[in-house]
Amino acid sequence: MSRASPWTPANLQPDCREDKKRRLPQGHTGEVNSSRSAHEDLDDMFASLSIDSVLAQENSGERPKDRKRKSCQENAGNLTNALPDDVLENMFASLSIDSRVTSTASMRSGKGSFIILDDNILAGGNSDCTTTSTDSRRPRSEVFIERVNDLLLRHVGTRVRVFEIRFDLNSTHAAHLDKWVQFASEAGAQDVKLSLCKNTTSCPEHFVTANRYNFPLHCFGDGRQRSSMRKLDLTNCIFTPPPDSGAFSSLVCLYLVRVTITDSGIQNICSCCPILRHLRLARCDNLVNVRISHEVLICLDIFRCKKLVSVEIHATCLLIFEYDGREVHINYASTPSMRFLVNKFGHQNGYLSDGVEGMKRIRKITLTFLWPSEKPSYTLYAIKFTAIQFINLFILPSWNNVRGVAYLVKATPYLKRLRLEARSGDHHYRDDVQVSWPEGISLKRLRFITVGGFAAQAPLVELLVCMVHAGARSRRTYLQIDPHHHLCKGLGRWVREDVGDKPARDRVREAARETLRSRLPPSVKLVIK
């Protein structure tokens, strides 16, 4: 960094480096989360996947350290495609977890310090920041800024790996935030996170829209020099990346939550972040028509951007795409490597578009059947999707919806696992309704059916009976019934909700035994949780 550090004190003494330990707070240091090392390994893996493509463009000679790193990355470009599906899924699940390090100070590690600036600074547990009786009468933000400034002053010259700010700040505090971000840049921080909200939740929209902090891109170079940052996580900020900049060429993961960014800003990200692997856009309400064009992007997550109309994806290495929000047009223009697809429309039924036909490696999908459509478009499933082996469905168990599910499983003849999460329990079993199922359903490989939120709904019962009879009777099939509702945490990771009336769940279990056990083939094992 060419500019002088804003943190160099005027009266710095020559012997200030005699004891570096004095720069580290000795008070409230907290404990580093045990998962941090796993996150470091994942970040290192992501950084190595295609960093060689960036190094190859550099004209300068390689240092011995660079040659060693490059030798370990020689064949990393195809690493993710060679991984088993379960390993790949767990890897991304771990990477997306929002790890918390409850420390306001920093902890030493072999790769640098962790600096976490949050509410703990105000708790008075840090011995370097003296607590006075007047602090309680001052604004929280004023006390926080003063203590952060004091803490960072003691860290001048310290190598930093993780730098996080989690506090309710906005554009009125820009002068201080700019200095802190520049400190992170000059300290070589690889993981930078700004969560500028209160108590880890988003501030009121009318407030943050007018007062969001504009992330200072200039702190990471003028475009000719790459920064060391590999992961950037912003909440309640403004992010305006330039069309051509080398400042973020080392960025591997980018998470934007309630961030003000435009459609052109997303295209600029794709052009100036050549080794970006994971992109998350959550509640970015200025996005309308998003076009993602990236050669090495692996995971794309778009979550509840309320003005979004369309998404177009050109990403030949993309393995995972998760969408959750209003119904939009999604064009899978070029996604031949896709393995996992999550498409959760909030108030409409999900569907498989024609683009899925070109995904020769697609194995797992998550869709919604949450709208009791009177005339479902069964023609959407006229094509056979032979690669799909796992299906997760949120379903409102109306008769038309369960027929739609039947046509979906007919289009996926190699299905191995099916999970249904019923979102309504007010449809009780009746035996006076007849429904015609699609002909030619063959589920010879279906071995596991799991149903959450089961309440003996008549349409759902009939659908289960239809599917188990369509499977091969010579091999064991497991049907698991659970009256509890579940939440999907992404990529098919389900968490049980232990709410509701226990006697009512007991009645559902008894109804499941009465309505299902006698109608199942001998090859089906019924498990009621």
Instruction: Report the pLDDT value the prediction gives residue 374, as an integer from 0 to 100.
Output: 55
Taking each continuous run of H as one helix and of E as one strand, the counts in the chain are 11, 23
> What's the mean pLDDT in 164-182?
93
Q: Which of residues 81 and 504 earns the better pLDDT score?
A: 504
Instruction: Tell me the per-residue pLDDT of 305-328, one tens digit each, with 9 for 90 and over.
Output: 999 999 999 999 999 999 999 888
pLDDT, tens digit, for every residue of 421-455? 988 645 444 455 667 788 888 888 999 999 998 88
Q: What is the pLDDT of residue 474?
A: 63
Of 235, 222, 229, nearest to 251 (Cα)?
Answer: 229
The encoded tokens of residue 345 equal: 């429309």
Whole-number CA gyration radius for the chain: 27
pLDDT in tens, 363-401: 999 888 877 665 555 555 667 888 899 999 988 888 888
- If one compares 129 and 418, the residue with the highest pLDDT of the two is 418
pLDDT number for residue 449: 94
Q: Which residues, in sequence order, are CB contacts of 344 under 8 Å at separation 6+? A: 323, 324, 325, 350, 366, 367, 368, 394, 488
Name residue 229's amino acid.
M
Distances (CA, A) of 91 to 46, 101, 245, 286: 11, 20, 30, 31
pLDDT tier at 73, thresholds 50, 70, 90: very low
Q: pLDDT tens digits, residue range 323-377? A: 999 888 999 989 999 999 998 887 677 777 767 777 888 999 988 887 766 555 5
Assigned token pair, 71:
């030798």
User: For the segment 245-264, what is each residue's pLDDT rounded down to a tens digit?
Assistant: 777 888 999 999 999 999 99
The alpha helices in 389-523, defined as continuous H runs, are: 399-410, 458-470, 502-516
pTM: 0.77
* Averaged pLDDT score across all residues of the chain: 76
Q: Name the most confidently modeled range: 55-64, 82-91, 245-254, 491-500.
A: 245-254
The residue assigned the tokens 């992330």 is 215
Quick check: 159 pLDDT over 80?
Answer: yes
CB burial string 119-131: b at 16+ within 10 A, e below: bbbbeebbebbee
> What average pLDDT does range 483-495 have in this prediction?
75
Q: Give me the pLDDT at residue 478, please.
A: 92
Segment 8-27, tens digit of pLDDT: 544 444 444 444 433 333 33
Higher model confidence: residue 291 or residue 92?
291
pLDDT band at 300 (very low <50, low <70, confident <90, very high): very high
The answer on pLDDT for 293 being more than 60 is: yes
Element (H, E) at 117: strand 113-117
Confidence of residue 161 (pLDDT cuts 50, 70, 90): very high
pLDDT at 479 exceeding the cut of 80: yes
Confidence of residue 78 (pLDDT cuts 50, 70, 90): low
Residue 120 pLDDT: 87
Beta bridge partner(s), residue 235 = 195, 257
If you average pLDDT over residues 110-138, what whole number do you get?
A: 67
Tell whether the model's pLDDT for residue 136 goes beyond 70.
no
pLDDT tens digits for 201-232? 555 555 556 689 999 988 876 555 567 889 99
Predicted confidence at residue 226, as pLDDT, reads 62
pLDDT at 305: 94
- CA nearest neighbour of 131 among 146, 117, 141, 118: 146
> For 179-207, how does the pLDDT look when each residue is reduced to its tens digit (9 = 90+)?
999 999 889 899 999 999 876 555 555 55
What pLDDT is stored for residue 117 in this prediction? 92
In this prediction, residue 94 has a pLDDT band, given cuts at 50, 70 and 90, of low
Residues in the chain: 529
Contact 302, 325 (CB under 8 A): yes
The pLDDT value given to residue 87: 61
Quick one: pLDDT at residue 103? 41
Q: Which tops the pLDDT comparison, 523 or 210?
A: 523
H helix runs in 243-398, sequence order: 263-272
Contact 88, 319 (CB under 8 A): yes
Closest of 125, 116, 79 to residue 98, by C-alpha: 116
Can you say whether residue 528 is alpha, beta or left, with left for phi > 0 and alpha for psi between -120 and 50 degrees? beta
